[in-house]
Chain A
Amino acid sequence: MLKVRTVEPEERWFEDFHEGQEFPVITRGPMMVGHQVRWAGACDNYESEFHHDEYVARAQGLPGIILSGPLMASYLLTAVTQWLGRHARLVRFFDQNRGPTMPRDMAHLHGRVRRAYEQDGRCLVELECWITNQRGEVTTPGSALAELPRRPGGGR
Chain B
Amino acid sequence: MFNEIMPLADVSENTKVQIVSFSGGYNFVRRLQEMGLVPGQIAKIIRNSKIGPVEVSVMGSNLAIGRGIASKILVKVVYE
Do these two chains interact? no
Q: Which B residues are within 8 Å of any A CB, using their own CB?
A: none
Interface residues of A (CB under 8 A from B): none
